[in-house]
């Protein structure tokens, strides 16, 4: 009966370990570890022998084992809504850069705006023992993270606040931004101003709606129910909402769009309409300046959101034991033409 190979054939495809390197170099295990980690206490000659063995075998340290031993994984997790959404690209990249500066790798996952999936992802990342989490909440209840945070997972929420727990949050000034955007329309003579936004269970959507209402109240304009559309932002629905507001005996003369997907659809509707209607959108987007007219927007800096959040996270990992904080970043109104159109009719 032939001897069965002891090493299971396909663990890491039978990778060499420090033990193998040590055997080949004729030194002890720990000496290899020292060389690999650049620790002092190894003579030049020994080091050379070890290096040669490493080269020859194609050894690469198994960071999984290292992690197990050291207790830190040097990795963080980012849970966002959709990697494919241009808004999250710069945010994601910014988080990555900060992580890189701290020698950490980044796990990335999309919740697809589904609270269950967000939880599943976040907990899977915790099981991997990421050192920290940056979460763009999809759900409104994050108590499931309580044991994790207590156990030391640094956690920062971005773009939307956490629900039910006390944690760091980095937000844009959605209320103030929307208020300023709508006030801008008012300043240009509009009174019948429509608002098309996302489901109000999403915090940013609710805040922007609130900003709209505040601005209208500031201007002493009572808001007609038909001027407001909340709900899914699939193009067909936005299109229908816009068309309804723009028809009838007293149509709106300006629209405030609650996010970039809405803005784009509204631009399409207006292009077909022929009649000039003022438009201000929340979120900047590429090429907004190239359209005719250029689209006036309330811009938030998604890269800065990510950088701020990641900075906070690593400060916490570096031992800062400050109380959880809520940071609100300012928005910026960029005028390009569409928001400065006078009311028609």
Partner DNA sequence: TAGAGCCTGGACAACGTTGTCACGGGCGGG
Partner DNA sequence: CCCGCCCGTGACAACGTTGTCCAGGCTCTA
CB-CB contact of 178 with 208 (8 Å): yes
CB-CB contact of 341 with 185 (8 Å): no
Which helix (H) or strand (E) is 239 found in, with range? helix 235-245
- How far from 102 is each of 90, 116, 122, 145, 311, CA to CA, in Å? 19, 30, 21, 24, 10
The entry of DNA, a second copy, none near residue 227 (CB within 5 to 8 angstroms by kind) is: none
Q: Is the bond preceding 293 in cis, omega lying within 30 degrees of 0?
A: yes
Beta bridge mates, 280: 256, 296
The correct pick among 4, 11, 84, 322 for binding DNA (CB under 7 A) is: 11
Shortest Cβ 90–DNA spacing (Å): 34
Shortest Cβ 334–a second copy spacing (Å): 16
The entry of DNA, a second copy, none near residue 147 (CB within 5 to 8 angstroms by kind) is: a second copy
Size of residue set near DNA by CB under 7 A: 33
Interaction of residue 51 with DNA, rule CB under 7 A: no
Sheet bearing 278-282, strands edge to edge: 228-230, 193-197, 254-257, 278-282, 296-299, 332-334
d(CA 155, CA 131) in angstroms, rounded, equals 9
Q: What is the contact mask toward DNA in residues 78 to 117, using x (rule: CB under 7 A)?
A: ----------------------------------------
Shortest Cβ 152–DNA spacing (Å): 12
d(CA 137, CA 141) in angstroms, rounded, equals 9
Interaction of residue 107 with a second copy, rule CB under 8 A: yes
User: Contact region for DNA (CB under 7 A) — 62-70, 109-117, 154-162, 332-340?
Assistant: 62-70
CB-CB contact of 277 with 344 (8 Å): yes
- Judged by the rule CB under 7 A, the positions of this chain that interact with DNA are 6-7, 11-12, 15, 17-19, 22, 26-31, 33-34, 36-37, 40-43, 45-46, 59, 61-62, 65-66, 68-70
- Judged by the rule CB under 8 A, the positions of this chain that interact with a second copy are 8, 10-15, 58, 60-65, 67-68, 71, 73, 75, 82-86, 88-90, 92-93, 96, 100, 105-110, 123-129, 146-148, 150-153, 264, 267-268, 271, 285-287, 290-292, 303
């Amino acid at each position: 009966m032939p001897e069965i190979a002891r090493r299971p054939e396909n663990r890491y495809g039978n990778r060499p370990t420090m033990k193998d390197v040590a055997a080949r170099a004729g030194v002890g295990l720990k000496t290899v570890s020292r060389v690999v980690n650049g620790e002092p206490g190894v003579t030049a000659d020994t080091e050379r022998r070890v290096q040669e063995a490493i080269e020859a075998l194609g050894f690469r340290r198994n960071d999984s084992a290292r992690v197990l031993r050291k207790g830190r994984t040097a990795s963080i997790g980012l849970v966002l809504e959709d990697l494919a959404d241009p808004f999250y690209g710069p945010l994601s990249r910014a988080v990555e850069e900060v992580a890189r500066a701290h020698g950490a790798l980044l796990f990335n996952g999309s919740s697809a705006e589904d609270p269950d999936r967000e939880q599943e992802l976040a907990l899977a990342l915790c099981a991997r023992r990421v050192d920290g989490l940056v979460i763009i909440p999809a759900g409104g209840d994050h108590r499931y993270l309580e044991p994790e945070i207590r156990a030391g997972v640094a956690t920062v929420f971005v773009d939307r606040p956490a629900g039910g727990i006390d944690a760091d949050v980095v937000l844009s000034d959605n209320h103030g931004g929307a208020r300023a955007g709508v006030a801008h329309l008012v300043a240009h003579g509009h009174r019948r101003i429509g608002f098309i936004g996302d489901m109000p269970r999403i915090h940013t959507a609710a805040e922007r709606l609130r900003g709209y209402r505040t601005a209208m109240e500031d201007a002493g304009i009572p808001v007609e129910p038909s001027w407001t559309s909340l709900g899914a932002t699939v193009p067909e629905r936005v299109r229908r909402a816009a068309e309804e507001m723009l028809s009838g005996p007293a149509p709106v003369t300006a629209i405030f769009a609650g996010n970039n997907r809405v803005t784009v659809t509204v631009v399409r509707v207006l292009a077909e309409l022929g009649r000039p209607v003022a438009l201000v959108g929340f979120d900047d987007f590429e090429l907004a300046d190239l359209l005719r007219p250029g689209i006036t927007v309330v811009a938030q800096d998604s890269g800065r959101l990510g950088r701020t959040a990641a900075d906070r996270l690593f400060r916490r990992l570096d031992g800062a034991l400050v109380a959880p904080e809520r940071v609100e970043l300012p928005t910026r109104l960029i005028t390009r033409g569409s928001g400065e159109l006078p009311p028609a009719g």
